Structure 1
Amino acid sequence: MTSSLFSHAPEPEPEGARAPVADVIENCVVPRETDEAFRGFHEYPHLWWPAEFTDFGEGTHVEFEGGALVETSEGDETEIRAAVQEIRPGELLELEWNPGTGSTSVSIAFTAEGPETAVTVRHTGFDTAPDGAAQREEAGALWRNVLQRYARFMGAR
């Protein structure tokens, strides 16, 4: 085959598309009306948030403060876990998880089910993270444990 002055190099193969990473969806039902269920989640995480899911471990104080979910160590070191994007008391809490790191999003919805409240956590955005599958696995374990502890705190059996 003779090369032509006008021949072009073959088109490069497109990069393989990454497989989509599913959202994490966890839920629980607590024996409280929506306003009280929301307050238990938003105002009292320091009483129920599992220490094994904090950066500082045992003795960590977890609270929503200044528009963020903040962890404070016994030595007063702080770590911002999430930035609050939207808050509708009794209905919804939207968070930017691990802000500033190409973060993911968390939506916590509170829905009345008779005298009880269904609490649904949806953690999204793993597709854009370089290690999205690993982050999704960690987030799944986190939210399962967080909701179990929260539900017990709120009186669920």
Structure 2
Amino acid sequence: MSESIFHDPFARPPAGQDPSPGGPVSPGAEAPGTSAGGDAPAPRLLTAEVPLAEDQAVEAFLEYPHLWWPAEMRACGEGSHVGLEDGLLVEEGEDGRRHSWARIGAVDAEGLHFRWVGWLGRTGAGPSCDAVVGFAPTPGVPSGTTVTAAITGPASSVEEWAVLMGAYARFAGGRPGRT
């Protein structure tokens, strides 16, 4: 990975200790090693493959959500601006209204941990979800990155995250899901 402000938060563990799941994962599939019969709900995985180096894929996700965030999922109107501010994912409308989508809980080797404040696309309170977004080189693809979102929450959150991952993938020149 090239030098970047994102290098340290997404540093890879030593060889043989990679915690990322292997193999293709369909949208909404359970994460490997999880069980729907346990106390905690199993995270659902969504993926996107983008033709960018890992640091560029992270930058596109974090620095440019105002360019890829779908209009139909904006709480403050089509002309709003979505971005990161003081550890929050915030949307600000042209009229000054603000909506906090999420708080960034942690950044570690697994990825970027979001705690959603409210449902995507809805301004009222609703069940929240946890999302861990990770970035890893795509095997066999030079300068390719696979972005994985592990979602723990209601089925509606998984569906809405699928829309977000698709919008991000298209913005970055890639495609959602893995075949």
Q: Does TM, normalized by the shorter one, top 0.5?
A: yes
Alignment of 1:95-106 (within 5 A): 95-98=114-117, 103-106=128-131
Aligned partner of residue 59 in structure 1, secondary structure: coil
Q: Does 1:150 align with 2:168?
A: yes
Q: Which runs of 5+ in 2 are unaligned?
A: 1-38, 119-124
Shift of 1:103: 3.6
Instruction: Specify the alignment match of 1:137 in structure 2.
Output: 155
The alpha-carbon deviation at position 24 of structure 1 amounts to 3.0
Deviations, residues 119-151 of structure 1 (Å, cap 9, x unaligned): 001111x3xxxxxxxxx2321221111111111
Q: Partner amino acid for 1:138?
A: S
Is 1:25 equivalent to 2:38 in the alignment?
no
Match of 1:132 in 2: none
Q: Give TM-score scaled by structure 2 length.
A: 0.64
Q: Which runs of 5+ in 1 are unaligned?
A: 1-18, 127-135
* 1:50-84 residue CA offsets vs partner (Å, 9 max, x unmatched): 02112123112110111000011111111111001
2:146 corresponds to: 118
Structure 2 CA distance for aligned equivalents of residues 35 and 54 of structure 1: 26
Partner of 1:129: none
Q: Structure 1 segments of 4 or more deviating over 4 A? A: 19-22, 99-102
Query: Which letter does structure 2 place at the counterpart of 1:72?
Result: E
Where is the helix percentage greater, Structure 1 or Structure 2?
A: 1
Provide the TM-score with structure 1 as the length reference. Answer: 0.72
The farther-off stretch of 28-37 and 79-88 is 79-88
Percent identical: 34
Number of aligned residue pairs = 128
**Matched ranges for 1:83-102 at <5 A:** 83-87=103-107, 92-98=111-117
The structure having more radius of gyration, on CA atoms, is 1
Against the structure 1 CA distance between its residues 123 and 32, is the aligned structure 2 distance closer, same or farther, given a 3 Å change threshold? same
